[in-house]
Structure 1
């Protein structure tokens, strides 16, 4: 019985199994008990490194600080992170390393950093930096001596390896697409939880509009939760209040991530608007759900597999032969046009 087999039986990811078996926080009590019960019933026994001193196991730890708005406790079920973890697991295994998982609560950051410093965190750490600011990473660096690569953010002045998305480029591609389709009145749906990735995306989107002589008009920017795939009452309320002013609804909306875009499509549909006949919607990330929603989502593809490969390779290089200089790697995006965007059919839209 392997961890992969336990994960299939429990209906969870391999990372959730690792968290449960290693007694780490990061999953619900019911999920943990289900995993441990299955493991016990099938006689699963994790390997003990001391059993084979001649060939010590090599491992990489995927470290997450959860419960901070964008990275949830069950982060491994969030589409973007789920795909990223899969590619990290594959690359680690190909390189002869097992992948461990460590998830700690952002609410106990200081305490958990101290605990991490006292624990063996494998041969190296890939730190998910999505929800971390510069000060957080500085504190982690000060406490941990294990080789480290930070994934999905970048702070240029810190002496650590980073692998990040070219967020400016991706949002620039999205903005250029809408302008080239002929949209003039373009709206922006932001995350109500801010992080560097979203700020960079806004910068790139605005740059594209300005190159086409456009701006996001006052009142055309909304904000909603970035981790809900269903329609959101908050967006419905904002759009309804906007329409009651008599102003025309934008003919297109750019959304800071696919979660927001899918939620926007469902909310607009409930309000009686057709996507893309009445209003175009563009997202960012290209999560698996972007081809399940109707219409299929036009979005920015993030090279998650390439990012995972680079992070693992850079970490292993650091473990086996620490390079003299740290690396800041930015991975370009690719724009994918699907069915949720088209040329504007109307100059303006009002309430149905």
Structure 2
């Protein structure tokens, strides 16, 4: 029996069977279990496991607490995390390590984390910390038997290895860019799910404005879903109420992540506004989709490859040397100017059709 036969019996593609056998993300847990059950019932033994029995002796585990509103169950399909995982896998292979994947529902953290600690077989764990608070990370650090590196957040008072984005710098760069273009009436598109990354981005952005004697009016702050890249009805409704109150649309918007920025461009375009002629839009993360949306998105570039390399290298160093003193690294950002931002137009935005 071949892999193609298992795929036919399970009603999935050959690539899905490969993902199920390798333990990599890309398919749902129910699908994975069905494929493995079909293989077991038909006596199929994946050749990759038999041919490489030594791989499990040198492995790292990528651990995710999903379903938080930011990190979804299918986190591996979210552009930012998809790119990050790719770079982690590449670095692991280069270092002679395999990468295992484990996830638990964040809502079942208390009950599942004990079992999780027993199930971890690798010597090192890279924990995606994007959506986690200090208490959750501290609890995992106490329970996990492996060396721990936390990626994409940082709590300075925890004795844990962290690799994080310099979010304050990125927010500052975005604010500086819009001010240099001459924008004074600036709107802010915030995530309706709060994490420390977003708070730090806001801090840096507001700092850049304050240095130039500017601020953001509370009426110019909008709250939207952070994981949607399509038209958002909720944003449309907020903008409609904004205009109904007789307010002029801001000449620029800063968005706390690229998902929000791409969604904003699509929503504004659907409503008859031109980006950047009527209003500029700036994002944060520089996901691959930022170059596909029209106009291409001006955004803050997060060094995902650099962060992935640092996380893998630090995890391996912790395994091999086990220093008592932990390391915290903040990776600086770069600002990428594309076509979604420009100097404010002299034309009155109020001339656009009301919603």
TM value normalised by structure 2: 0.89
Q: Cα gap change, 1:167/1:300 in structure 2, threshold over 3 Å: closer, same or farther?
A: same
1:148-297 equivalence runs, <5 A: 148-297=148-297
User: 2:28 matched to which residue of 1?
Assistant: 27
Q: In the alignment, is residue 111 of structure 1 matched against residue 111 of structure 2?
A: yes
State the secondary structure of the residue aligned to 1:83: helix
- 2: distance between equivalents of 1:38 and 1:98? 23
Q: Report the alpha carbon displacement of residue 104 of structure 1 after superposing the two structures with TM.
A: 0.6
Q: Cα gap change, 1:87/1:279 in structure 2, threshold over 3 Å: closer, same or farther?
A: same
Quick check: 2:125–2:149 contact (8 Å CA) kept in 1?
yes
Q: Cα gap change, 1:146/1:262 in structure 2, threshold over 3 Å: closer, same or farther?
A: same
- 1: distance between equivalents of 2:224 and 2:23? 33
- 2: distance between equivalents of 1:348 and 1:219? 19
Quick check: 1:19–1:27 contact (8 Å CA) kept in 2?
no
- 1: distance between equivalents of 2:222 and 2:21? 34
The Cα offsets for residues 65-120 of structure 1, whole Å up to 9 and x where unpaired, read as 00010000000000000000000001111111100000111111011110012123
For structure 1, the residue ranges without an aligned partner over 5 or more in a row are: none
Q: Cα gap change, 1:113/1:32 in structure 2, threshold over 3 Å: closer, same or farther?
A: same
Q: Cα gap change, 1:280/1:161 in structure 2, threshold over 3 Å: closer, same or farther?
A: same
Q: Report the alpha carbon displacement of residue 238 of structure 1 after superposing the two structures with TM.
A: 0.1
The Cα offsets for residues 117-152 of structure 1, whole Å up to 9 and x where unpaired, read as 212331100000000000111111121121000000
- 2: distance between equivalents of 1:43 and 1:15? 12
- 2: distance between equivalents of 1:263 and 1:13? 33
1:38-187 equivalence runs, <5 A: 44-45=46-47, 47=49, 57-187=57-187
State the secondary structure of the residue aligned to 1:47: helix
- 2: distance between equivalents of 1:59 and 1:33? 25
State the secondary structure of the residue aligned to 1:335: strand
Quick check: 2:56–2:122 contact (8 Å CA) kept in 1?
no
Q: Cα gap change, 1:192/1:56 in structure 2, threshold over 3 Å: closer, same or farther?
A: closer
Q: Which deviates the most, 190-199 or 29-38?
A: 29-38
The Cα offsets for residues 280-335 of structure 1, whole Å up to 9 and x where unpaired, read as 00000000000000000000000000000000000000001112310110000000
The Cα offsets for residues 137-175 of structure 1, whole Å up to 9 and x where unpaired, read as 111112112100000000000000000000000010001
- 2: distance between equivalents of 1:130 and 1:107? 15
Q: Cα gap change, 1:16/1:280 in structure 2, threshold over 3 Å: closer, same or farther?
A: farther
Segments of 4+ in structure 1 off by > 2 A?
A: 6-17, 26-52
The Cα offsets for residues 250-289 of structure 1, whole Å up to 9 and x where unpaired, read as 0000000000000000000111100001000000000000
- 1: distance between equivalents of 2:270 and 2:308? 38
Q: Report the alpha carbon displacement of residue 347 of structure 1 after superposing the two structures with TM.
A: 6.5
- 2: distance between equivalents of 1:138 and 1:307? 21
User: 1:18 matched to which residue of 2?
Assistant: 23
Q: Over aligned residues, Cα RMSD in angstroms?
A: 2.8
Quick check: 1:49–1:57 contact (8 Å CA) kept in 2?
no
The Cα offsets for residues 222-243 of structure 1, whole Å up to 9 and x where unpaired, read as 0100000101000000000000
- 1: distance between equivalents of 2:234 and 2:39? 41
